Structure 1
């Protein structure tokens, strides 16, 4: 058998550290699986919050006498809260640990959902929705980071992609059961995963990388042994984490402007770029206004929405299973190509209707286009950017960089969801053709700049992308 070569990591004094990678891949232990399940309860909360407003609009407006403008504020203020949460997410996760950040988030989300259950006035609804937004803004960063930091390299992609799967499950659950139960009961159901995660956090370990970054070396080694199994040899992995972390700790404490230094340029471009392409490809415009898109195209909104749910979850599961087999880059490029095609078909449907051509077939073309977009997005563009974001930033800047990337994601979400109806009023075909061009550009961006991170430790990935030069 060919001997594995050691990995070279450049220190701050330009002397390479030689770290021999582990000989064997690690299995998914019960502790890793349980810890991941607890963490992604937060992802389900994320999805539940996003999906809550779609089926509850008519009921809440009727019961509370809200105007359409008041309900629009209630729905959109979630994104404002999420941006605020994203700004502080890295600081909280670095200061109080990954578990502490998740616990704080769930307290906010639980308070928000319970406030909706008992709310009778608009201002309390808005306050509750804002609290939930702050909570999911933090969760959107800390959940994939925690999962990436506890899982072995051969399983990291699939386990981290479970974050996106549970978001889809949360959205789909709200969409499906929200049409048959009262909105207050739906809000109470939304509180259940908040409680489950909060209680589960008492039974899972802290991230070994966070412990190492806080110089808790014995705790880091103990947690690694706990995660990998008592009979596993964790000495090599522990040594790699320790040596790389000690190298980073010789650098000055990172500030926001430090992210724009030359050594972090590629990571920042990749992390921010993927989030920009993810959001400006039109996903939230399509997800938030799916029913109206179908109805504008002359198709049943209810049938179309159910069809979206039907393809969304299975394709997300498929992407999760392929993550550590095909790699991140192929999934991203196939996914982006599919979203490009889906937007093109939807735009073509609207164009044909504007030209009064294929009037019978055009609505079905819109359905096919949206379903192709949804399936393709769920396969890769939904989850892979979050996986890569959790992998590419060194621990000394991960909090700041992760916050920035998450803020960009939520800002893009707000911009697209806000501008979508205006764009559709301007030109329905033009809107989807623009999205198609952006999705096509994503393929080029991934091919040129995004690295393949499959099968590499976090330290190997970060060292290759962020050469640490002397300061």
Structure 2
């Protein structure tokens, strides 16, 4: 294109079409100009009697001009802006707060709903239904969220689900009939299932590859903040009806308004032939200076190679693949069994557990807030460590420590029932449950992350919907059975059973789940097909 002579240094810079300069060197009185390459920097040094003296650098991340000619140039079209992507995640995160409030609502409200002077009084059987029926509704919501959302889009589906969730909260707050209350809880669970599945898909499809995992993982922090929020509000003088209205307004109105101002996911728009709208969506989430047309062409190219892949029936047929089916069945077992590890129960029965501990030094409500804070802190720790530690250690170690915490809690209740000295240590219940909540809520997000990394895109939506439904069926069974198990074998025996389930998850993960960090799906699938037997063979060998 053009040549420029730098007289003093003897450097000739020739700019080429792609903006990268070709450098030529001339001898001069300072000696030979030496060029040193590193990963990101090209250093220019002059050789003189006093030794090499660095006189300049060319970095891949900067633009260098020699006599007016670009020697290197950063391609700004490859740099998306992240502000609007974070905005999209924040809107979805507000909806995720509602998931925590729905799940944690019973954790602080059960005493008010079991008191005789209340117009709504729940016996043991109905308490079990009140805490568990949301999981049954969520299982149905995941199935519905996993199929029709392919047709109507994530954003549109959420704009329908959020007002319905608010309506269910209002019905719950205003009802004076037990079965209407239970029905409202079931419908809240249904909307929860739709929101948890659809919001995560929306964020995943709107985020750039460089930040997708971080933004999706950040949603879990919002869900745990929902628990903390409802536990904190329970410490106030609000009635359970007033608390229901507060939770409904906070968790639905703000995200609904937010979704009115963000576009639909670009991939969904492209899938349905709305290419111009997909381009506009990419420009919104990537910024004006980013080459959105190039990314859109990449999306269209992938869609052309996997035509029909977003069709629910097509994805169901992909589950016939032995490797995919193996992972779906394995995760279905883990998701169902892990609901009996104590996490769903301690969230739904928190105040009941602390009242049973009969501790005078700290109130049950204050203990509950401490546990809620531990939930939030666990997800922040997860966000920091997930990029640096393998998936298997982040499942094995937290679930083992969670099981250990429940063993200690069971020992406290056993000592309390038998008159042992350990039962007099009043700091044990809140400490053990806080440690359990912290470690358990590190392990669960890693399991979800691993599931997403092991299911191929051609089966991810439908397979994910099935696994979410299995997860919530397990939650329904665990919540419903809790009070009956306590009646049969006591509080200590119940927590020891949950301790055993945590250890079971550790064993299954160690034996049957491959490490996915730093490995492509294609590499893992090829390895499974080659070995044919256990997906853990490679990990045992390594």
TM-score for the superposition, normalised by structure 1: 0.83
After superposition, where does 1:183-262 map in structure 2 within 5 Å? 183-192=240-249, 193-233=251-291, 237-249=295-307, 253-254=313-314, 256=316, 258-262=318-322
Gaps of 5+ in 1: 4-21
Partner secondary structure for residue 446 of structure 1: helix
Structure 1 residue 155, shift from structure 2 partner: 2.6
CA RMSD in angstroms, aligned pairs only: 3.4
Cα contact 2:359–2:426 (8 A) shared by 1: yes
Which whole-Å deviations, capped at 9, do the CAs of 1:243-287 have from their partners, x for residues lacking one?
433332267842646424325235424643542353122211222
Question: In the TM superposition, what whole-angstrom CA distance separates every residue of 1:358-411 from its partner, at most 9, and x where no partner exists?
Answer: 245555434332221111122x22433334445544444333212211111111
1:158 aligns with 2:222: no
Task: State the SS of the aligned residue for 1:206.
Answer: coil
Report the equivalent of 1:290. 350
Tell me how many residue pairs correspond in the alignment: 447
**Distance verdict in 2 for CA 1:266–1:73, change over 3 Å:** closer
* Corresponding position: 1:386 with 2:448: yes
- Matched-pair contact (CA < 8 Å) for 1:163–1:383: no
| 1:92 maps to 2:148 | yes
Q: Encode CA deviations 1:343-365: one digit per residue, 9 max, x unaligned.
A: 22223333444554324555543
**Counterpart of 1:170?**
226
Aligned to 1:47: 100
Distance change (3 Å), C-alpha of 1:231 and 1:198 = same
Check whether the contact 2:107–2:352 (CA below 8 A) recurs between aligned residues. Answer: no
Cα separation, 2, equivalents of 1:226 and 1:448: 44
> Residues 248, 36 of structure 1: CA spacing in aligned structure 2 closer, same or farther, 3 A cutoff?
same
Indicate the structure with greater strand content: 2
Give how far 1:98 is off.
Answer: 0.9
Cα offsets for 1:40-69 (capped at 9, x unmatched): 212111111122233334445644243435
Cα distance in 2 for residues equivalent to 1:465 and 1:339: 31
Change (3 A) 1:178 1:118: same
Aligned position for 2:336: 276
1:48/1:171 contact within 8 Å kept:
yes
Instruction: Please tell me whether residue 421 in structure 1 is matched to residue 483 in structure 2.
Output: yes
Asked if the contact 1:307–1:371 (Cα under 8 Å) also holds between the matched residues in 2, the reply is yes
Cα distance, 1:336–1:71 mapped onto 2, change above 3 Å: closer
**474, 481, 491: which one aligns with 1:412:** 474
- Which SS does the other structure have where 1:230 is aligned? coil
CA contact (8 A) 2:108 2:351 kept: no
Instruction: Give the number of the structure whose residues are more often helix, by fraction.
Output: 1
Structure 1 distance, partners of 2:397, 2:325, is: 26
Q: Which structure is higher in RCO with an 8 Å CA cutoff and minimum separation 6?
A: 1
Alignment deviations for residues 184-234 of structure 1 (CA, whole Å, 9 cap, x no partner): 322221222211112211212222332343344454444334322222345
Q: Name the CA shift for 1:321/1:218 in 2 (closer, same or farther; >3 Å).
A: farther
Quick one: distance in 2 between partners of 1:52 and 1:350? Answer: 25
**TM-score, with structure 2 as normaliser:** 0.73
Deviates more, 1:256-265 or 1:87-96: 256-265
Q: Which residue of 2 aligns with 1:16?
A: none
2:496 is aligned with 1:433? yes
Cα distance 1:417–1:124, how it changes in 2: closer, same or farther (>3 A)? closer
Is the alpha carbon distance of 1:163 and 1:286 closer, same or farther for their aligned partners in structure 2, counting shifts above 3 Å?
same
Aligned pairs for 1:393-408 within 5 A: 393-408=455-470
Which of 66, 80, 94 aligns to 2:121? It is 66
Indicate conservation of the 8 Å contact 2:338/2:501, yes or no: no
Q: Contact between 1:52 and 1:174, CA under 8 Å: does it hold in 2?
A: yes
Contact 2:98 2:252 in 1 (8 A): yes
CA separation of 1:332/1:239 partners in 2, compared to 1, >3 Å: closer, same or farther? farther
State the 1:426 CA deviation. 3.3
Kept in 1, the 8 Å contact 2:405–2:435? The answer is yes
Determine helix, strand or coil for the equivalent of 1:152: coil
Post-superposition CA distance 1:126-164 (Å, at most 9, x none): 332222111001112112222222223343333212222
Instruction: Give the C-alpha shift of residue 94 in structure 1.
Output: 0.9
Higher mean C-alpha displacement, 92-101 vs 230-239: 230-239
Secondary structure at the counterpart of residue 176 of structure 1: helix
Contact 2:104 2:347 in 1 (8 A): no
Secondary structure of the 1:439 match is: helix
Tell me if the contact between 1:164 and 1:382 (Cα under 8 Å) persists in the aligned partners.
Answer: no
